[in-house]
């Protein structure tokens, strides 16, 4: 079920890839997306719905690239903010970049329309879903030879990640990921019936109001 995927389109959809300093890591991030899209019904990153999980934080506008890029830039911003005041605090910028751009790569599995159909029809056989994007993301990363640190971020950013200790870079991306969805919900950018994860204190500002 693998198909031809444009490596150029992957970089067009996730231009922060070019900001990764290590040429090897840069290539492997593209390899990972080529592998993940190639084993899915999607052709490019911008085809993947903008959603946290199925039915959770569904964006009213924009696709998964908006989230991946937003989380990556937000995580970098957190690092740069601390570095400005505390230069002695060290973070691996390449791991933040690659980890941010790959953290939800497993949504190529979890959101695949063909798989969703199969899980809905026979959940007693396959589960519903069989497993989430965090687990599939680990599979993708290890299959293409991405470092363990990136696979760890695929697992550690998610709900399943509550059961493991987090690396520094994973911890920052997890904070950025949760902040991104919660703020998107607060700004009225998610479907109202998909935001209960943001908690009972949230009062959504409707689009256009101040």
> In this structure, are residues 14 and 26 in contact, taking their beta carbons and an 8 Å threshold?
no
Q: At its nearest, how many Å lie between Fe ion and the CB of residue 135?
A: 11
How far is the C-alpha of 143 from the C-alpha of 102, rounded, in Å? 13
Binding mask 148-187 for Fe ion (x = CB under 5 A): ----------x------------------x----------
The verdict on 104 binding Fe ion (CB under 5 A) reads yes
Nearer residue to Fe ion within complex by CB, 78 or 83? 78
Other CB atoms within 10 A of residue 106 CB:
24
Interface of this chain with Fe ion, residues 27 to 86, rule: CB under 5 A: none
Q: At its nearest, how many Å lie between Fe ion and the CB of residue 100?
A: 9
**Furthest-apart CA pair in the chain: how many Å?**
54
Q: At its nearest, how many Å lie between Fe ion and the CB of residue 205?
A: 22
Q: At its nearest, how many Å lie between Fe ion and the CB of residue 51?
A: 10
Nearer residue to Fe ion within complex by CB, 85 or 176? 176
> In this structure, are residues 129 and 159 in contact, taking their beta carbons and an 8 Å threshold?
no
Four-CA torsion 109, 115, 119, 122, nearest 10 degrees: -140
- Helix, strand counts (H, E) of the chain: 10, 0
How far is the C-alpha of 104 from the C-alpha of 94, rounded, in Å? 17
Instruction: Please count the residues of this chain forming the interface with Fe ion, following the rule CB under 5 A.
Output: 3
Nearer residue to Fe ion within complex by CB, 104 or 112? 104
Q: Which residues bind Fe ion (CB under 5 A)?
A: 104, 158, 177
């Amino acid at each position: 079920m693998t198909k031809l995927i444009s490596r150029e389109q992957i970089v067009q959809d996730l231009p922060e890839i070019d900001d990764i300093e290590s040429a090897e890591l840069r290539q492997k991030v593209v390899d990972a997306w080529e592998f993940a899209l190639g084993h899915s019904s999607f052709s490019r990153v911008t085809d993947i719905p903008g959603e946290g999980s199925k039915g959770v934080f569904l964006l009213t506008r924009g696709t998964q690239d908006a989230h991946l890029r937003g989380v990556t830039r937000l995580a970098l911003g957190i690092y740069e903010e601390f570095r400005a005041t505390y230069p002695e605090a060290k973070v691996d910028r390449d791991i933040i970049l690659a980890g941010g751009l790959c953290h939800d790569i497993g949504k190529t599995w979890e959101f695949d329309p063909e798989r969703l159909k199969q899980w809905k029809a026979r959940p007693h056989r396959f589960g519903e879903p069989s497993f989430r994007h965090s687990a599939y993301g680990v599979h993708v990363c290890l299959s293409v030879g991405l470092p363990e640190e990136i696979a760890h971020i695929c697992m550690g950013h998610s709900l399943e990640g509550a059961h493991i200790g987090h690396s520094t870079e994973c911890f920052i991306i997890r904070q950025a990921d949760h902040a991104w969805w919660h703020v998107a919900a607060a700004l009225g950018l998610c479907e109202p019936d998909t935001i209960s994860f943001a908690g009972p204190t949230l009062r959504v500002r409707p689009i256009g109001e101040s």
